[in-house]
Structure 1
Amino acid sequence: MTTSHGTPTFSAVEGIACASFVDALGHFYDHRLHILDLVSPTPTRRLFGPAATIAFMPYRQDREELNAAGFASCFYRAVGDEPAGKVLVMSSGGHPGVSHGGGTKLSRAHNNGLAGLLTDGRLRDFGQLADYSFSTWCGGEATRWGGDVVTQAAANVPIEVGGVCVLPGDYLYADSAGAVVIPAARVWEVIAEARRIEAEEDAALVGIREEDPVSLRSTQSSYDEW
């Protein structure tokens, strides 16, 4: 495991559930940092890594210059010179029900060693995505190409995903329960707090297993007298 003075890798969060991260973040921040209703072609494969962001916007036929950069340009600007281990995070651009990519153009994430891909939009080609080395989480599977509805607009900028602000460099964690955005400045503190919470819950399980039903039945609230 990487030390708390370096960059956390997946081994640093092994065994921690998304819910524990959400509880831990609540001890540091009041704003929302969790994302729900995501699916994956490989739902048992968890995701963790720093965010590289691409903002999508609704397509404008009368402004083709806005689409000139293309996905490849945005991808390489987002992931930078050290793409390995990063999570590509894409906003839905106001259209979560359409495709934001598929197995062909997203093969770049596999070729460059990314840890994951996360979007609240839909993706095509779940079969292909399942075979890649990275973990994928999205709003659902699509069949139709969506480039005439949304288009990539900017890389390495703050984006909104599932009602949450994601900044480049934030850490993303996702499992079958959902995803969570962990601000980079406190990532080690949040990991430590999440592990403390899970240890408390493990202890509570032992306490529940050993509790005395007879004594607990004798504890009465005022509602019992109604």
Structure 2
Amino acid sequence: MDKLGLHGVVTGIRQYSTGRKIAGRVITVKLGIDDGRATASKHLSTTAIEMANPGEIIVVEQRTGRDAAAWGGNLSLGAKVHGVAGVICEGPARDIDESRQHEFPVYARDHTCTTARGRLVEVATNEPITVGTILVFPGDYVIADASAVVFVRAADISRVLDTADKIVSKEKMMAEAIRAGTPIGKVMGADYESMLL
């Protein structure tokens, strides 16, 4: 992303329920404050789960400032059964232990035990949302691991993957050289500093 001048990195969202890296296309959910006027016919995020294709990732925006979960254990189970690859919450998630039992990847800004009932409503599914400072569109791509969450616009995915493949190939050769005894200062010289720019 740096090499291509693209922005999409979000830090501070933690990997809570598994140690698994996730990558796939995005389905978005936006949550808002329940002011008592909305009459929800479905539970939060169930529409996204039901419309997801296998391997897709649900990304939920819950930036209301309320201590209320954007995601929970039964949603993790339902998503896993439906083939969803994981969830990323810009906001808190709950039932982390249940999600671990289901071996379903949950990434979240925070955790809580407070339910969304009476506190949050679903505002939109598959509409643009904001995660960190990044505007995320349905159909974008995301990769998440213990270091960060990175969003890539669908229009940029081919060149991002091509660039990433080249960098990974170079870093693999560097790792082999380090294992073979080449001094690390020599391996990680000026070439390494310039290959990411």
TM-score by length of 1: 0.70
CA distance in structure 1 between the partners assigned to 2:40 and 2:184 by the alignment: 69
Q: Any stretches of 5+ residues in structure 1 without a counterpart?
A: 1-24, 214-226
Contact 1:55/1:159 (CA < 8 Å) preserved in 2?
yes
Partner of 1:118: 88
More strand by share: 2
Pairing partner for 1:129 from 76, 79, 99? 99
Partner of 2:167: 197
Worse-superposed segment, 147-156 or 201-210? 201-210
Contact 1:124/1:141 (CA < 8 Å) preserved in 2?
yes
Q: Does 1:102 align with 2:77?
A: no
Partner of 2:57: 87
Paired residues for 1:126-165 under 5 Å? 126-165=96-135
Partner of 1:46: 21
C-alpha spacing 1:212/1:79, structure 2 compared with 1 (3 Å): closer
Partner of 1:75: 46
Contact 1:113/1:134 (CA < 8 Å) preserved in 2?
no
Partner-residue secondary structure (3-state), 1:60: coil
Partner of 2:191: none
Aligned residue pairs, count: 183
CA distance in structure 2 between the partners assigned to 1:109 and 1:166 by the alignment: 20
Partner of 1:22: none
Paired residues for 1:209-220 under 5 Å? 210-211=182-183
Fraction of identical pairs, as percent: 20
Partner-residue secondary structure (3-state), 1:104: helix
Q: Which residue identity lines up with residue 55 of structure 1 in the other structure?
A: K
- The alpha-carbon deviation at position 132 of structure 1 amounts to 2.4
- The alpha-carbon deviation at position 195 of structure 1 amounts to 2.1
C-alpha spacing 1:100/1:42, structure 2 compared with 1 (3 Å): closer
Q: Which residue identity lines up with residue 149 of structure 2 in the other structure?
A: A
RMSD of aligned alpha carbons: 2.6
Partner of 1:33: 8
Q: Any stretches of 5+ residues in structure 2 without a counterpart?
A: 186-197
Contact 2:13/2:108 (CA < 8 Å) preserved in 1?
yes
TM-score by length of 2: 0.79
- Which ranges of 4 or more aligned residues in structure 1 deviate by more than 6 Å? none
